[in-house]
Amino acid sequence: MKKISILATSLVISTFVQAVPSGGACTDGDYVCQSPIQSGSAEVKATHWYTGLIWELGGIRSSNKPDLVFGIRQTTTKNIDTVRGADASIRVSLDKDISLDSVRLSYLGGKPAALAQLGAGYSFKQNSLLATGAVQGNYFRLSTDYLFNANKFQYFGEINSLKKPKNAGGGASNCPAGYESANADEQEASNSQRIGNVTCVADAPL
């Protein structure tokens, strides 16, 4: 009886090893690998109009009044939490009188919790083209401008109505009939044969 039990256990282990090889199956001619089938939304697109208050950090102004910011942001989230998009904004000065201060257009990218921005614009008050960079978090932004005519940097802190973009759902991943789920790195799967670290492995047809 003991011998039969050992024999049955060995048969199960042997069958499992053949179904899901221990390494390099995707580069072995005896097996085929395929990317899992993903269902559900793997991409989230969003457009948000926003407003904010922005203060110059370390600048010399006649008052402590912030400027007003009005803008629009478009984002696309893929691969769960990879965000790309664009941001356009205008800034209205409240210092002394109400006037148009500047405009900006930026590319953005990163993770939902921290988006980096890089772009260009024009300062009407300084009569200068500018380069701008920023980091946008949840309802706040830290930014810097370089004014070409004045050859100087300006630094800003901002609170606004922008919350972090939503993660993409990613969808559920399942292997097709006849395939077994396996670790993509261990099976040496290519980018087209995996989703994340999962690939699907099957015996090659005779």
Residue 71, pLDDT score? 98
Dihedral over Cα of 66, 91, 152, 110: its sign: positive
With a cut of 60, say whether residue 58 has pLDDT above it: yes
Residue 69 lies in a domain: yes
Question: Per residue in 111-133, pLDDT tens?
Answer: 999 999 999 999 999 999 999 99
Residue 60, pLDDT score? 59
Alpha helix (H) residue ranges in the chain: 2-19
Instruction: Supply the pTM of this predicted model.
Output: 0.63
Q: Tally the domains of the chain.
A: 1
Whole-number average pLDDT of the chain? 84
Residue 25, pLDDT score? 73
| Chain position carrying tokens 């300062």 | 123
Residue 193 lies in a domain: no
Question: Per residue in 136-185, pLDDT tens?
Answer: 999 999 999 999 999 999 999 999 999 999 877 656 678 888 888 888 88
Residue 29 lies in a domain: no
Residue 49 lies in a domain: yes
CA distance to 15, 34, 56, 158, 174, per residue, from 178 (Å): 14, 11, 62, 55, 12
Residue 102 lies in a domain: yes
Q: Give CA torsion, residues 71, 123, 125, 152, to 10 deg.
A: 130
Dihedral over Cα of 78, 136, 149, 101: its sign: positive
How far, rounded to the nearest angstrom, does the alpha carbon of residue 161 sit from its chain's CA centroid? Answer: 20
Mean pLDDT comparison of 34-38, 112-116, 189-193, highest-scoring range: 112-116
With a cut of 50, say whether residue 52 has pLDDT above it: yes
Domain of residue 116: give its range: 43-160
Backbone phi, then psi, for 17, in 5-degree steps?
A: -65, -40
CB atoms within 10 A of CB 10: 10
Residue 169 lies in a domain: no
Residue 60 lies in a domain: yes
Pairing of strands 82-93, 99-111: antiparallel
Residue 93 lies in a domain: yes
Side chain identity at residue 189, one-letter code: A
In total, the chain counts a number of residues equal to 206
What stretch of H or E contains 105?
strand 99-111
